[in-house]
Amino acid sequence: MSTVDKMLIKGIRSFDPENKHVITFFKPLTLIVGSNGAGKTTIIECLKLSCTGELPPNARSGHSFIHDPKVAGETETKGQIKLRFKTAAAKDVKVCLSYRCADMDREIPALMGVSKAILENVIFVHQDEANWPLQDPSTLKKKFDDIFSATRYTKALEVLKKLHKDQNQEIKTYKLKLENLQTLKDAAYKLREGIAHDQSRTESLKSQIQEFETSIQDVDAKIHHAEVTLKDLRKLQDQISTKTAERSTLFKEQQKQYAALEEENEESFHYDLIYRADTDEELKEWKTKFEEKVAELESKISKLERELTDQETKSSFLRKTTDDCFKEISKLQTEAEVNLSLKNERDSAIRNIFTTHNLGPLPSSPFSNDDALSFTKRIILRLPDLEKDLQDKKKSNEIELKTAWDRYMVANDQWTTADVQRQAKVDLKSGLRKRIEDKENERNSLELQISNVDISHINEREKNMRTEMERKKNLIAERDFESNITQKQTELYSIEQKIKALTQEKDIMVGDSDERVKLSLKKSELESQKRKHRKIIDDHREKIRGVLKGRLPLDKDLKREITQAVRAVTMEFDDLKNKSHEAEQEVKMLQTKIQEDNNNISKLRKDMESRKRYIESKIKALDRQYSTIDSYLKALETAKEKRDVQKSKYNIADGMRQMFDPFERVARAHHVCPCCERSFSAEEEDEFVKKQRVKASTSAEHMKVLAVESSNADSLFQQLDKLRLAYEEYIKMGKETIPNAERELKKHSEELDQKSQALDDLLAVLAQIKSEKDSIDVLVQPIEAADRLFQEIQACQKQVDDLEYKLSFGGQGVKSLEDIQSELNTLQITKDSLHNELEKLRDDQRYMEKDMSNIKDRLHALCAEKVQADNVFRDVRKAEEELERLVEEKSQVELDEKYLKETIGPLSREKDKLLNEYNELKAKLNLEYEEQSKQKMSYAQEVDSIQKVAFKIKEFHDLKKGEKLKELQEKLSFSELELQKCEAKKQHILSELERNRDVIRSRDKLRRNIEDNLNYRKTKAEVDELTREIESLEANVLRVGGISTFESELVKLSRERERLLSELNRCRGTMSVYESNISKNKVDLKHSQYKDIDKRYFDQLIQLKTSEMANKDLDRYYNALDKALMRFHTLKMEEINKIIRELWQQTYRGQDIDYISSYADRLVISLPLFQVLASLIIRLALAETFCLNCGILALDEPTTNLDGPNAESLATALLKIMEDRRGQENFQLIVITHDERFAQLIGQRQHAEKYYRVTKDDHQHSIIEAQEIFG
C-alpha cells in the first residue's frame, strides 16, 4: 500500500525560493506544530497539489501561492515541490512539480491506489474546506458520489433518463405513423380483396357464360333436328294419305270383281279346279295351254283312279293304329288328373293372392298354363314392387326424419348460439367485476392516501413557512452580514497593512535599496487600478442609477447597496415565481380536465358513431332494404311480421304433410280412396300410392325449405332484437350523455379563461421583475470587480503612502528589533482573533443562508406535496367516474345476461320438444316400416309356395306327359281324322274324278272363268302392294315418333332457349359491373399512398417494436443501475455511519448527543464545536472505509473550535486509531496543529521520535525544524 516518504518545498507561499525545505514523514505519526501564519497549512497544500494537481482555495491560478517574480524583482519563478512516495505495489516514486502537468495529475492517484476525490476530500483537506461534510445537500451528494466513484454512474443515469425520454417521443411518433400506415394497409387490403373477389366472380361468370353458350348451341341443334324430323313426318303423312286413297279405290274394284266372280262361279262345276290353281302363272298357263290341260285332265283322271286304290289301302292301316292309341291314352289320363288337381291348387292360390293384394281381375277357373304362367309372373313381378315400396317407405321415412332432425338442429343451433352469448356475457361480467374490484382497491388506496393528507394543514404549513421565510429574510437583513464582514475585512486588512508596515520597517533595518523601485511600481499599479475602477463605474453608471432609483452611492457603499437591491429583487422574484407556479399548476390542472373532457366527448362520439356504424352494418347485413339507423324500428317490425307469416306457412304445410301417410295406409289396407271411398283397381292403387309418395317427398322438401325460411326469419328477428339495447344506448348517448359532457367542458373552459387571465397578469409582473433582476444581476460581477479594485486601490494607496513616508522619514523614530517583533506578535494575535470572528460571521451567514435555502426547499416540497394531493384528488374522482362507468356497464351486461337466460328457456324447451317429436316420429315410422316388411315377407312366402306347385306342374310338362297324352290323343284323333280324310279323300277323288270329267265336257266356260280370275288376282295384288307400302310408311312414322310429340318438344326447346338467353345476358351484365369495379380498384391501388404499403408498414412496425424493446432495455438498465448505485451507496453509508458512531462515542464527552449519522447525504449541526468534531469524525470514517490501499490521513488544525475536553477526547481517539493500526505498515497520520497541549497529548515516543516545528525567520520565510518528541 502507498505511503509518502519525503517532500521538498521551495518558493511556495512563505517558503524561501532560494532555500530547500525538506520534511520526512514518519510512521505512524508525523506531527507538525507551529503558530498561526507560520506556514503549516502550506505543507498540506503542497501534498494536495503534488498528488491531485489542485490548487488551494482562493489561489487564483497560483496567485499568492507561488512567489511572484515581479514583486520579488526576479526574472524567473522558483517555486518547486518534490515528493517521494511509495506506490500501492511498494515501489519508490519521485514526483517533481515545477509546473502543472495534466498527465501527472491523472497518474499519481493511480499510483497511490486511491481516487483523486479521496485525496482531495479525505486525505489532504485544506483547513478552509475542513467542514465540507456540513455543506448543502447537493454539494455534499456530489462529493460523496466522487468519493464513491459514482459520478460516472450518475451521469450515465442522466444520459439514460434523457435517452428514455427522447425514445418515448420517438415511439409516440412511430405509433402515429404506424396507425396511419395501418389505415392505408387496411384500405389497400380491402381494395385487393375486392379485386380478387370480383375477379373470381368474373371467372365464375365466364364459365357460366360458356356453359350457357354451349347449352344454347345444344338447344339450337335439338331445335334444328326437331324441325327437320317434323318436316319428314309431315311428308310421310302426306304419302300415307295418298296411298290410302289409292288403295281404297282399288279395294272397291277388287270387291266388285270378287262379287261378280262368286256369282258366276257359284254353280260352276269347274270352279274348284280353277280355284285350286295356286298362282297367277298357273292360270295364265291354263289359258295358254288349254288343250294341253285338257289332255292333262284326262291323264289326271287316270291318276285319280290309282289314288282311290291307294286310299283304300291306307284306310285299313289307320284303323289298326287307332286301336293301339286307345290303350296308351288310358294310362296317361290318370297322371293328367293328378296334374289337374295341382293346377286347381295353383289356380286357387293365384286367385287368393290376386284377391288379397288387389292385383287385378282374373278369368274364370281353370287357368291355362300360359295364363297361370302369366299370373305367376305378375305375382313374382309384384315382389320387387313390394321391395321397392319398402325401400320407398324407408327413403320417405329418412326424409321425414331428416326434416324433423333439421328442425331440431336449427333450434339446437339457436339455443347453442344464445348459450354461447350468455356465457360470453358471464365472462364479461366476471371481467368487469374484477376490474371493478381493482378500481375499488385503487380508489380505496387513493382514499387512504387522501385520508393521510390534510389540505388545510398543508395550507397552514405553507403559510407558516412563508412567514418563517419572511422572518429569516428580515433577520438576515437585520444582521447585515455583508457590512459586518466588510468591516471585519477592513479591520483585518488594516492590521495586515500594519503588520506589513512593521515588517517593512523591520526590513528597512537591513536596507532600503529597493524601496524606490517598489514605490514607482506601486504608483504605476495604483494608477492602473484607478483607471480600471473608473472605467467600470463609468460603463455601468446609468445602470447603477436605474437600479438605485437615480442615486450613485460612494465607492465604499456601492457593493453593499447593490447586494441589498439584489436580495430584495430576488425575494420578490421568488415570491412571484412561486405564485405563478401555483397559478400555472391550476391552469394545467384545468387544461388536463378540459383535455379529459374533450377526450371523453370524443370517446363518447366515437362510441356513438361506432354503435351507429355497428347497428347500420348489422341492419344492412340482415336486411338490405334498410340501411340507416333511423329505419331500425321499422326493420324490427317488418322482421317480426315476416317471422309470424313464415311460421304460419310452416304450420299449415306441416298439417298437410301429416295427411299423406294415413292416406297411403288407408289405400293399401282397404283398396279404396281415403276421401270418396271409391274402390281402386291395382293400377289405380299403385298410381295413387305413387302420387302420395311423390307429394310426401315434395312436401318434405317443401317443409325443409319452409323450416329454413321460418328459422331464417326468426333468426333475423332475434338478431335485430339483440340490437335494441345498442340502439337505446345510442339514443341515450345522443340525448343525455354527450350534452352533459359538453356542459361540463364549457364550465371548465370558463374557469380556464379566468385562471389563464390571472396567470398572464402574474407572468407579466414576473417578467417585469425578472427584467429588473437581470439588470441587477448583470451589475453584480462588475460591482464585485469594482469593489475588489477599490479595496486593492486602498491597499495600494496605503502601501504607496507607507513607502513615501518611509523614504521621507526613514531616519526618525526607529524602533528596536525587539519592539517591532513584539508589536508584530500583538498584531498577529489581533489578526487571528479578527480572522476567527470573520470566519464565524461567514459561518453564521452560510448557516442562515442554508437555513433560508432549507426553508425554500421545504416550501417547494410542500407545494409539490400540495400538487400531488390535488393529483390524488383528481385520480380519486377519475377512479370514481371509471367505477361508475364499469358498474353501469356491468348492470348492462347483467341485463343482457338476464335477457339471454330468458331467451334460452323457450329455446331449450323448443329444442327438447323437437327432439321428442323426432324420437316419436322415428319410433312411429320404424313400426310402420316393420309392418310393411312383415307384409312383404308374407307375400314372399306365398310366392314361394306357388313357385313350388308351379315347379311340379312344370316337371309334368317337362317330362312331356301331357304332350305325350296329347300326342297320343292327337295321334288317335289324327288317325281317326286321317281315316275320315281317307274316306273323304276317296269321296273327293270320286267327286274330283267326276268334275274333271265335267270340265272336259265344258271347255268354253272354263276359258272365260280363267280370265276373270286373272283380273281379280291382279287387282288383289295391287291392293296388297299398296297395303304393304302404307304399313311401311306407318312403321316409319311410328319409328320416328308422333308429330304432336315433336311439336311439344319444339315449343319446350324454344322456351328453354329463351331462358338460357336471358341468363346469358344477365351474366354478361353482371360481369361488366365486376370488370368496372376491378378497373376502378386497380386505379385506386396505383395511388402513391398505397405504393409498397405492406413493406412500409412492416418496416415501420419493426422500427416501432425495436424502439420499444430498446426503450424497455433502457428503462431496465436505468432501474438496475439506479438500484445498484443506491445499494452500493447504502452499504457504504451504513459502514461509514457505524464507524462515525464508534468515533463519536469515543470522542465526544457530552451527554446530550449519543451518536451522529449521515442520512440522505445530509448532516446538519448548528454549533461550531459539533461542526468541527462531526466533520473530523466523518473524514476519519471515510478514511477507514476507502483508504485501504493508501493509509495516509492529514489533519490540518483538527482542534479548531474544540473545547479542552473534546480536544483531549480527539487526541485519545487518534491515539486509539494509531494503536489499532500498529500492525499496518503503511499507516501514516499527519497532524498539523497550533495547540501545544493537543500536540503533547498525541506526540508520544511510541508513535514518533521527532516532530516538526514551523516558524518564520527574520525575512518572514517559513522554516521547518525537526525537534525531539515531547517527554
Binding site per annotation, positions for Zn(2+): 673, 676
**CA 1214, CA 1189: separation in Å to the nearest integer?**
20
Angstrom CA distances, 826 to 814, 829, 1223, 1233, 1261, stand at 18, 5, 46, 20, 19
Q: Is there a contact between 1204 and 1234 (Cβ–Cβ < 8 Å)?
A: no
DSSP track, 781-804: HHHHHHHHHHHHHHHHHHHHHHHH
Amino acid 871 reads N
Q: Is there a contact between 88 and 2 (Cβ–Cβ < 8 Å)?
A: yes
**CA 820, CA 665: separation in Å to the nearest integer?**
157
Q: Contacts by 127-132 with C-beta closer than 8 Å and gap 24+?
A: 127/41, 127/44, 127/1196, 127/1197, 127/1200, 128/56, 128/57, 128/58, 129/57, 130/1172, 130/1175, 130/1176, 130/1179, 130/1196, 130/1197, 130/1200, 131/1171, 131/1172, 131/1175, 132/1175
Starting from the edge strand earliest in sequence, which strands make up the sheet with 80-86, in order?
21-24, 3-10, 80-86, 92-97
Which residues have C-beta within 8 Å of that of residue 298, sequence separation ≥ 6? 996, 1000
Q: Is there a contact between 1254 and 1264 (Cβ–Cβ < 8 Å)?
A: yes
Which residues define the annotated binding site? Answer: 673, 676
* Residue 1232 per-residue DSSP state: E
Q: Which three cell numbers stand for residue 64?
A: 499568492
> Residue 18: phi, psi to the nearest 5?
-95, -25
Amino acid 573 reads F
Q: Is there a contact between 200 and 1071 (Cβ–Cβ < 8 Å)?
A: no
Place of cell 448505485: 1125
Tell me the CA end-to-end span of the chain in Å, nearest whole number. Answer: 32
Please count the CA atoms within 13 angstroms of the CA of 180 that sit on its side-chain side: 10
DSSP track, 49-85: HHHH-PPPTT-TTTTTTB--HHHHT-SS---EEEEEE
Report the b/e string of 409-444 with b at 16+ CB within 10 A: bbbbebbebbbebbeebeebbeebeeebeebbebbe
> Residue 7: phi, psi to the nearest 5?
-145, 135
Radius of gyration of the chain (CA): 70
CA proximity to 1166, closest of 846, 776, 942, 871: 846
Sign of CA dihedral 1152, 1155, 1159, 1165: positive
DSSP track, 1192-1205: EEEEESTTTT--HH
For residue 390, give the H/E element and its range.
Answer: helix 369-451
Q: Is 358 helix (H, G, I), strand (E, B) or coil?
A: coil
**CA 53, CA 42: separation in Å to the nearest integer?**
14
- The neighbouring-strand residues paired with 1195 are 1231
Amino acid 919 reads N
